Amino acid sequence: MFLVDWLCDLFVSLRRLWQKEAKILFLGLDNAGKTTLLHMLKDERLSQHAPTQLPTSEELSIGRIKFKAFDLGGHRIARRVWKDYYAKVDAVVYMVDAADGGRFDESKTELGALLSDDALAGVPFLVLGNKIDIPQAAPEHALAYYLGLTGCTTGKGTVDLAGTGVRPVEVFMCSVVRKMGYGEGFKWMSQYIN
């Protein structure tokens, strides 16, 4: 019995060494797809969700990282509490409805405020342009332009930014309902989580 307990304890310890833990925030305007993505990552199934009224959290394991993910909602009132969750955050996933061009200015304003907030200095930002399955969705270069990110992203491959003082920011286009694009974004983001 002692040997079995010892082996179990050893396995748990080794797993902790192998798997990182991180706190990430899912932010963006309402109806961008944050809750749908969170549930897709957790349950691997698509379902309809009511607009997020109160902050929620889920634990996710993606690759070698165990995430504590917070979906904070995106309507105006919900955005007021975003700052309450900035402490010890390891990354931000900022979602944009790429098919809703009428809200790009509002999304740019919110993203700009996040990127300039001292509490998030140095935190990697994964910007997901969602809903590319809709014909009127903006292409990646146009979305980056509308969000003020042209020339501000850091590259999609493995980019060593250690010691440069440059914050990792990158745009990935995705369709949560088609289960495409966001995986590459999370893979990119994971290289910047210590």
Q: Determine the Cα–Cα distance for residues 5 and 190; give it in Å rounded to an integer.
A: 33
74 known ligand binder: yes
pLDDT, tens only, 101-136: 999 999 999 999 999 999 999 899 999 999 999 999
Residue 140 pLDDT > 90: yes
Tell me the backbone φ, ψ of residue 125, rounded to 5 degrees: -120, 120
Q: Which amino acid is at 16?
A: R
pTM: 0.83
134 labelled binding-site residue: no
- Averaged pLDDT score across all residues of the chain: 83
36 is in an annotated binding site: yes
Given a cut of 70, whether residue 17 has pLDDT beyond it is no
Domain, as residue range, for 32: 21-190
Asked if residue 28 belongs to a known ligand binding site, the reply is yes
Residue 11 placed within a domain: no
Q: Is residue 71 part of a domain?
A: yes
Residue 52 labeled ligand binder: yes
**Overall average pLDDT of the 20-46 stretch:** 86
15 located within any domain: no
CA dihedral 55, 86, 74, 66 (to 10 degrees): -60
The answer to whether position 3 is within a domain reads no
**Is 153 contained in some domain?**
yes
131 is in an annotated binding site: yes
Domain tally for the chain? 1
DSSP letter string over 70-104?
A: EE---SHHHHTTGGGG-TT--EEEEEEETT-GGGH
44: domain CATH number? Answer: 3.40.50.300
Is 30 known as a binding-site position? yes
Q: Is 32 annotated as a binding residue?
A: yes
Q: 10-24, 85-99, 153-167: which has the minimum mean pLDDT?
A: 10-24
